[in-house]
Each structure stands twice: as structure tokens, then as C-alpha cells.
Amino acid sequence: MSDLAIDLTGVSKNYTRRFKKPTPALRGVDMQVRRGEVFGLLGPNGAGKSTLVKILMTVIRPTRCQGSLLGHRVGHKGTLARVGYLPEHHSFPGYLTGAQVIDFFGAMSGVPRRERRQRAGELLELVGMSEWSKRRLKSYSKGMRQRIGIAQALVNDPELVLLDEPTDGVDPVGRRDIRNVIERIKDEGRTVFINSHLLTELEAVSDRVAILVKGVVAQQGTIDELTAGQHRYELVVGQSDSAADLLRHALPESTRQLALPESESGLARRVGFKGLLPSGEAVELDHNTLRVMTEDPKLIQPIIDRVRASGGVITTLRAVRPSLEDLFMQAVTDPTTGATLKPGAEEGKKR
């Protein structure tokens, strides 16, 4: 048995409309999700996240797709009995009660009646909806429907659970509960694939993430892997007109000489520059803040000493680990212009 729950190569999808040019949604997605991990998929609006999930769940037919889902080709209907799915913007019938929704989708997944009954009780308990199980969904809040949605995704005891925006419309308490549920699912050995905009939520639960931009995977890996080399120390001295000069002089002479002109540093009209330490680490000066791109605290000690020797008052010194949001923003920002990319998977004519 492969240790990959999802293994995709070159998945592409073009939406075609009569008499119109095909619109690309995915342009060759390569993605691997390991068994037993929580995998987060993120990307800006129109990046193709939901299209990818729908292709996995056979809701959409791909233009091209090589790969497997739980060891079978993508599109194999029988495999879906082992997959749980919560779609984005789902709409459960309002005439059903919470328990009936779980029972119905369990039956559709082929779960025997007795097992459905037993699991429905457990799942309602898990998502905190036991007391509401006999009331019709039309009386539920959005958060309650979302909880029922998660419960129905688990009724078939799935090996893989795909959750598309699971915390959509859920209040902070509900989000925490859903996060706990996801952790419990993971503890049970299931693979969880989450598509979400809420980066902090994803960061809290994901083992690995992929960032989808313009229909292709821009980055994929653990957060540590993706942020490797992006850890930094930030040093802030008291706010004064001379703060920037003080920090500039605290840097080694060679760094000052190597510093790029302001116009090329991207900090035009601001007090600062970008340069390199003799050991090769990048430094960035921005007003009264100096950023040293390193994980090694020893490298910033001489700078601190020189600032203090010059009479500077260090107000803040912190080790900064890039967040998922930083990674996300990096992925969706044009490095040359600094502008965020426009929604959709079509390549822009000119950035």
C-alpha cells in the first residue's frame, strides 16, 4: 500500500463554454498528501483550490489528470466509499434533521443501517450537536450546519477526509471545536485534507501545506521546510531621527559598502537599505528597525554591542519565524512590483 493518500501529477482543468475561449482553472498541479497527515491547501480566490477538490471528488471532470486517490485512479467511484467530504457552501435539505442528514449520507456511502445509527450518535456527540439531532436543519445556524456537515463527512469511517472551508461561518468557539475535531480525526490515523482561507487555523492544524497560485502549486511542504532560510532577528532602537544612522553604523564596514542604493533596494523614499553581512546573511534597514536574516543568535551579538556602545537604546529584540500568512503573501505577491496577483488562474498579459 502506498504511503500517499493523494498523489497527483499534472492535473489540469480548462472550463469550456460554447463559442468562448477555454478558461484555465488548473494548469498542471503536482501534489502529494501522505497518509495520516493533516494537509492544508491554500491559495487566493480563483486559484483553483475548490476545482482541485471537486476533481478529487468526481464532481468535476479534469481536462488531464494522472494520479491516485487512496491507491486508485482519481475518478474511481468505489474509492469514494472510503472518503469523507464536506463541500464549500454546502446546502443540506432543510426538511431533514441533523441525525437524518448523517443517516442519509451514510446510506449513500453504503454504510449498513446499524452502523449508521451507532456512528450518528457518536458523531453528533463529537461535533457537539446531540441536543439538536432531532430538529430540522432549517432551524440551524450556519455554524451548526457546518458541524453537521463535518459529522456526515465522518459517517463512513473514512480513511481520507476532505474539508473545503470547514470553519466557514463558524464563530471563534466553533472554530476551536472544529480544530479539536480535526486533531481527533488525525489522532485516529485518518488523512485530513483541508482547503481554507483561514491561515491561522491551517497553521495550527496542518502538518504540510501547499500554496496554489494561478492554477499551479507554488510551494509545498511542511511550514518549517517552506520557511527555511526565512527566519530573522529584528532589532528596534528608540525612535529618533538618528536611529537609522545609528543602526547603519552598527553594521560592519563591508556591509555598509555593499549596501544597495536606495532606489534599487525597494525602499525608495524611505530611510534604509538592503545589504549582506560578511558571513553572507542579508540585512535590511528600515527606519529604526534592522532585520538580520538568520537563525543564529551569535551573528547579531556584535551589532547589539555596537548599538549599545554608540548609546543606542534597544527597545525590541525578537526572533521572527515567518508565519503561514507571510508564506502565502510571498506566494501571491509579484516579487518585481510588490503587487498582489489578480484572482483567477489565467496568466496576466503583463505584470
Q: Which residues bind another protein (CB under 8 A)?
A: 15, 54, 57-61, 77-81, 83, 85, 87-93, 95-96, 100, 103-105, 107-113, 152
- Closer Cβ to another protein, 91 or 337, answer by number: 91
Distance between alpha carbon 64 and the CA centroid of its chain, in Å? 25
Amino acid residing at 265: S
- Closer Cβ to another protein, 152 or 206, answer by number: 152
- Closer Cβ to another protein, 13 or 291, answer by number: 13
- Closer Cβ to another protein, 85 or 273, answer by number: 85
- Closer Cβ to another protein, 12 or 288, answer by number: 12
To the nearest 10°, the Cα dihedral for 319, 323, 325, 329?
Answer: 60
Locus of grid cell 477526509: 161
Please give the grid coordinates belonging to residue 276: 549582506
Name the minimum Å distance from CB 77 to another protein.
5
- Closer Cβ to another protein, 100 or 289, answer by number: 100
Name the minimum Å distance from CB 272 to another protein.
49
Cβ(83)–Cβ(153) under 8 Å?
no
- Closer Cβ to another protein, 105 or 132, answer by number: 105
- Closer Cβ to another protein, 81 or 258, answer by number: 81
Name the minimum Å distance from CB 12 to another protein.
14
- Residues 27-46: b if buried by 16+ CB within 10 A, e if exposed: bebebbbebbbbbbbbbbeb
Name the minimum Å distance from CB 47 to another protein.
17
Contacts 24+ apart (CB under 8 A), 220-223: 220/31, 220/32, 223/324, 223/327
Name the minimum Å distance from CB 183 to another protein.
24
Name the minimum Å distance from CB 348 to another protein.
25
Backbone Cα Rg of the chain: 25
Name the minimum Å distance from CB 62 to another protein.
10
194 has which bridge partners?
40, 163
Name the minimum Å distance from CB 50 to another protein.
10
Name the minimum Å distance from CB 150 to another protein.
13
Please give the grid coordinates belonging to residue 123: 458523531
Please give the grid coordinates belonging to residue 275: 545589504
Residues 6+ apart with CB under 8 A from 334: 340, 341, 351
Q: Please give the Cα distance from 163 to 192 (Å, whole number).
A: 8
Q: Please give the Cα distance from 225 to 214 (Å, whole number).
A: 22
Distance between alpha carbon 157 and the CA centroid of its chain, in Å? 25
E-strand ranges in 159-269 read 160-164, 191-195, 208-213, 216-222, 232-237
Beta-sheet pairing, 208-213 with 191-195: unpaired
- Closer Cβ to another protein, 108 or 268, answer by number: 108
